[in-house]
A and B are shown apart, each in its own frame.
Chain A
Amino acid sequence: NAGVMQNPRHLVRRRGQEARLRCSPMKGHSHVYWYRQLPEEGLKFMVYLQKENIIDESGMPKERFSAEFPKEGPSILRIQQVVRGDSAAYFCASSPQTLIGEQYFGPGTRLTVT
């Protein structure tokens, strides 16, 4: 049973470009969470999605950031017009049920904005 998969593992973008981060949850998991980890900081919750629905985006910046989890395919975290402060590790996690159970994390995407 493959774990949570994320790609790319490393992404370099120039300021002003768009970044697309992909996450495929574990088989049988229908709940996806995105987190951001800044240097020297803990993981910060961004958004929680189920298939075709954003359930909670309270941790996501209001501008430039969006997320989706379509009926088919991976979940996508999209960052438009990236700035240097967006440089971070972005982790995706999935769980089989709503948040009483444990979440399983992917290996992360390390975004560097130059």
Chain B
Amino acid sequence: EDKVVQSPLSLVVHEGDTVTLNCSYEVTNFRSLLWYKQEKKAPTFLFMLTSSGIEKKSGRLSSILDKKELFSILNITATQTGDSAIYLCAAAGGGADGLTFGKGTHLIIQP
């Protein structure tokens, strides 16, 4: 069965800290790994990764994929309270055409 496991499940840090969120996957016919940020409503797209070792950056956020070890990390530097959210990792591939999601990491940034 395809699965995506995220860790930690929750994380509380202070503003200005750097955080690393982890995502491991076991998906047949893997195609891509996606990260989303979910606040109170729709998950919003952050990154899509298809190639190993190539870092993607957007402001203070960055992500990288390791297809050999089957994991990805999402880094957030100089965290702000607005970064507080659930961060979802999802893998495309497997037996279904939909994404397989992890349970998410609930990140809380304290002022």
Q: Which A residues lie at the B interface, using CB under 8 A?
A: 3-4, 33, 35, 40-48, 55-56, 58-59, 91, 98-108
Number of A-B contacts (CB under 8 A): 71
Seen from chain B, the residues whose Cβ lies within 8 Å of a Cβ on chain A are 4, 31-32, 34, 36, 41-45, 48, 50, 88, 90, 92, 95-104
With A43-B43, A44-B101, A58-B95 given, is the CB distance from A102 to B31 under 8 Å? no
CB-CB under 8 A from B32, the residues of chain A are 100
Chain B interface mostly helix, strand, loop or mixed?
A: strand
- Residues of B near A45 (CB, < 8 A) are 96-101
Compute how far the CA of A44 lies from the CA of B53 in the bound complex, rounded to whole angstroms: 28
| Residues in B whose Cβ lies below 8 Å from that of A44 | 101
Partner of A99, one of B31, B95, B101: B31
CA distance A75 to B48 in the complex (A): 25
Q: Which residues of A contact B90 (CB under 8 A)?
A: 43
Cα distance, A59 to B43, chains bound together (Å) = 19
